[in-house]
Amino acid sequence: MDIVGSVFRGVETIIVTTDIISVAAGGDGVGRLEDGRALFVPRTAPGDRVEVRVVEEHKSFARGRVKRILAPGPDRVAPPCPVAGECGGCAWQHLAYPAQVAAKTGFLREALRRIGSMESPPVAELLAAAHPLRYRNKAQVPVATGPDGGLRMGYYREGSHDIVPLPDEGCRLLQPAVDKALLFVREHLAELGLRPYDQGLGQGSLRHVMVRADAQGRAMVVLVTREAIPPGAADLAAAWVGQAGIVSVQNNLQAKTGNVILGAETKVLAGPDALDEQLGGLEYRLSATSFFQVNSEQTLAMLGAIMGLRPWKPGESVLELYCGVGTLSLPLGRLGLRLHGVENHAAAVADAQANALANGLPGLTFSVADALRAWQALPPGFEPQVVLMDPPRKGLEPGLAAVLVEKGPPELVYVSCDPASLARDVKLLAAGGYQLKTCQGVDLFPQTPHVESVNLLVRG
């Protein structure tokens, strides 16, 4: 049938045939309905001709699911993972890597144009990853009861809370050490006798398994539960240390409902309470709950991009907001800068302080504070010449852009993991006199539509 964008309305189903013309920021391919409305279709690639089942219709757009690929586009590739079509862990394994890189550069440009109101945003070509698979140093995998009554571990099916079981080959995005430890845990988890948490029924306890590995392949396993693991099960889990590269087993308690994976309390069952990671010749202590960039190799590329954004001078004073364990602070401290880091997660600040000490960097100080109140947390006499900030996906706290406009130094370095919130903040900052000079994307998350970027804003 050679009808592009035509709609067939059955009793319940609407089936259309469309050509995919581009990829949208969320990662879906974009086709068109006959009336011109955009049709967003996950797991499609530009140039694909597809038969689509429309699942949602709105005034100006619709959403659909692929029923059949009639003709693949030039950028469609065979996904390396057997569950890539259903697992929500990564949305883009069907898209050739160069096309992913081009799309992400476009997302940054488009967000800064559309949301940031910039006519010609200064977006550089994305720094592509040398290794677009097997890059993740951390996995956080939900656990549930499977249809056979046994434990099921794997990522959620896109847009649902159904678990797609982890394939026996493991996850292609994980570093081999993470995969090895995760598959070992999958093998032995049932022996602990813990019942998976069912949010609907409010019963059970086991929620997630987190595995993080360092560059030496040493793995930390964290069992996230609603209630503390009973002593017998804790002893069995503790005995995992020494197997499959596991050096530490911990129990994190998360009693709250909702999507936040880790809770505030963590108990060590065996081994050290933190990993000693090495990155770029620096040592980082990483506690179970501290944030650390998941792609170590590309974090080095990102650090290179930050270093190249402006001439960092020894003795310069930098205020770093959202500093985490000091991933960005330590390399700047090594250049002889004075840096004060602010972060609201106390365990991460303790890690950052230990990291500065372990690496012999006395010019670095840190405090536990909300980014919004950073100026109140500064050491006496500390006057920042640059603010470096790396907020979570939602971008700067409401009100922080105004504080920066009022008190900020001549230069801001903004590390972003979401083009839309970056563009919103750039617009707020531009209204207060800061101009975006450079936006350099770095691919920290291959096989997914997520985009990291480092940005330089200058006042005046």
Which letter does DSSP use for residue 86 in this model?
T
122, exposed or middle or buried, with CB in 10 Å at 0-12, 13-18, 19+?
A: middle
- Give the C-alpha separation, 14 to 315, whole Å: 65
Which strands make up the sheet holding 386-389, listed edge to edge?
123-127, 434-442, 452-459, 411-416, 386-389, 317-321, 338-343, 364-368
Beta-bridge partners for 152: 144
Q: Which of 107, 184, 197, 322 binds ligand SAM (CB under 6 A)?
A: 322
Backbone angles phi, psi at 4, to 5 degrees: -90, 125
Closest-approach residue to ligand SAM (CB): 324
The dihedral sign for the CA sequence 118, 103, 445, 68: positive
- By beta-carbon proximity to ligand SAM, the closer residue of 51 and 397 is 397
343 part of the interface to ligand SAM, by CB under 6 A: yes
Minimum distance from residue 210 beta carbon to ligand SAM (Å): 16
Q: Between residues 226 and 345, which has the closer beta carbon with respect to ligand SAM?
A: 345
Segment near ligand SAM (CB under 6 A), from 23-31, 90-98, 391-399, 401-409? 391-399
Binding track, positions 269-298, relative to ligand SAM; x by CB under 6 A: ----------------------xxx-----
* Cβ 6 vs Cβ 42: under 8 Å: no
Q: What is the smallest separation between the CB atom of 371 and ligand SAM, expressed in angstroms?
A: 4
Q: Residue 377 interacts with ligand SAM (CB under 6 A)?
A: no
Burial readout 67-105 (b: 16 or more C-beta within 10 A, e: otherwise): eebeebbebbeebebebbeebbbbbbbbbebebbbbbbb
What is the spatial distance between Cα 428 and Cα 402, in angstroms, rounded to a whole number? 8
Write a three-state SS string for 312-370: CCCCCEEEEECCCCCCCHHHHHHCCCEEEEEECCHHHHHHHHHHHHHCCCCCEEEEECC
Query: Could you list the active site residues?
Result: 417
Nearer to ligand SAM, 174 or 348 (CB): 348
Q: Which residues pair with 250 in a beta bridge?
A: 222, 268
The answer to whether residue 251 forms part of the interface with ligand SAM (CB under 6 A) is no
Choice from 152, 172, 345, 450 touching ligand SAM (CB under 6 A):
345
Min separation Cβ 289 and ligand SAM, Å: 9
Residue closer to ligand SAM (CB basis): 27 or 391: 391
Least distance to ligand SAM, CB of residue 406, Å: 18
Q: Tokens 């292609």 map to which residue?
A: 172
Q: Is residue 349 part of the contact set for ligand SAM (CB under 6 A)?
A: no
Q: CB 326 → ligand SAM: shortest distance, Å?
A: 7
Identity of the residue, 61 or 375, whose beta carbon is nearer to ligand SAM in the bound complex: 375
CB of 277 to ligand SAM, least distance (A): 11
Asked if residue 324 binds ligand SAM (CB under 6 A), the reply is yes
- Residues in region 62-121 near ligand SAM by CB under 6 A: none
Q: How many CA atoms lie within 13 A of 15 on its CB side?
A: 10
List interacting residues with ligand SAM (CB under 6 A): 291-293, 322-325, 327-328, 343-345, 348, 370-371, 390-392, 397, 417
